[in-house]
Chain A
Amino acid sequence: EPEVTQTPSHQVTQMGQEVILHCVPISNHLYFYWYRQILGQKVEFLVSFYNNEISEKSEIFDDQFSVERPDGSNFTLKIRSTKLEDSAMYFCASTGGLTGAGLGTEAFFGQGTRLTVV
């Protein structure tokens, strides 16, 4: 079964450092997302990406964050100058695989990257 793959599974970083979280979406999917879940809170939407550009972003996704699809298979989330409150599980998701009817599919999520900012 196709799956979304995220690396690393756990990242520890010093406050103020930059981190890049990596994702390999399902190969024929067209829409890509990042979500995060701070411990004890709900899963929150960060950003969606389609056709090599951001299609929607939340208030959380400020200038500290950026996304990129550098090579047609990877989808990365960069967090510049990390803060303690960036500590969370970050989930990548993809959807929009082309079925025979050309319809999208439900979002498939990766297993997440736990980011700990110390």
Chain B
Amino acid sequence: DQQVKQNSPSLSVQEGRISILNCDYTNSMFDYFLWYKKYPAEGPTFLISISSIKDKNEDGRFTVFLNKSAKHLSLHIVPSQPGDSAVYFCAAQRGSGNTGKLIFGQGTTLQVKP
């Protein structure tokens, strides 16, 4: 099941710079897209989401962009901080009310260097 793909297994950026994590999907029927962050030995933690009817959602340092025609979304973190170092999962969901199953990408490990 490759409906959601994160093609970059890892990303390294300098503290203070922008981190851009990318995600592609194949199913045009998805209604929501979400980003989760995961530290070792912990469960995924919700970060930010976007509805399929929008193209941008911003929350503090985190912005998610959605390009439906390209079936592509990205997460921008600016400025990046060392505490942002974690695995970031892109996920997609069908249905209203955020109650459908999540389909995850493989994850991208972000390392923010001081």
Q: Which residues of A contact B104 (CB under 8 A)?
A: 42-44
B43 x A111 contact (CB < 8 A): yes
Q: Which residues of A contact B42 (CB under 8 A)?
A: 111-112
Stretch among A12-20, A67-75, A78-86, A101-109 lining the B interface = A101-109
The size of the chain B interface, using a CB distance under 8 A, is: 22
The size of the chain A interface, using a CB distance under 8 A, is: 28
Contact with B along A38-58 (1 / 0, CB 8 A): 000111110010100000101
A106 x B97 contact (CB < 8 A): no
Query: Given A43-B104, A106-B49, are A91 and B44 neighbors across the interface (CB < 8 Å)?
Result: yes
A103 x B101 contact (CB < 8 A): no
Question: Closest Cβ of chain A: how far from B27's Cβ, in Å?
Answer: 14
Question: Closest Cβ of chain B: how far from A88's Cβ, in Å?
Answer: 13
Contact with A along B85-106 (1 / 0, CB 8 A): 0000100000011111111111
Q: Which residues of B contact A107 (CB under 8 A)?
A: 46, 98, 102
Question: Closest Cβ of chain B: how far from A97's Cβ, in Å?
Answer: 10
B41 x A111 contact (CB < 8 A): yes
Q: Which of B26-78 contact A (CB under 8 A)?
A: 34, 36, 41-46, 49
Q: Which residues of A contact B89 (CB under 8 A)?
A: 42-43
Q: Is A117 an interface residue (CB 8 A)?
A: no
Q: Which residues of B contact A50 (CB under 8 A)?
A: 99
B99 x A106 contact (CB < 8 A): no
A105 x B43 contact (CB < 8 A): no
B107 x A95 contact (CB < 8 A): no
Cβ-closest 7 pairs across A and B: A109-B43, A104-B97, A104-B98, A43-B104, A45-B101, A106-B46, A104-B99
Binding site for B on A (CB under 8 A): 4, 6, 31, 33, 35, 41-45, 48, 50, 56, 58, 91, 93, 95-96, 103-112
* Chain A to chain B contacts (Cβ below 8 Å), 27 pairs: A31-B99, A33-B101, A42-B89, A42-B104, A43-B89, A43-B102, A44-B104, A45-B101, A45-B102, A45-B103, A50-B99, A91-B43, A91-B44, A95-B98, A95-B99, A96-B98, A103-B98, A104-B96, A104-B97, A104-B99, A106-B34, A107-B46, A107-B102, A110-B43, A111-B42, A112-B41, A112-B42
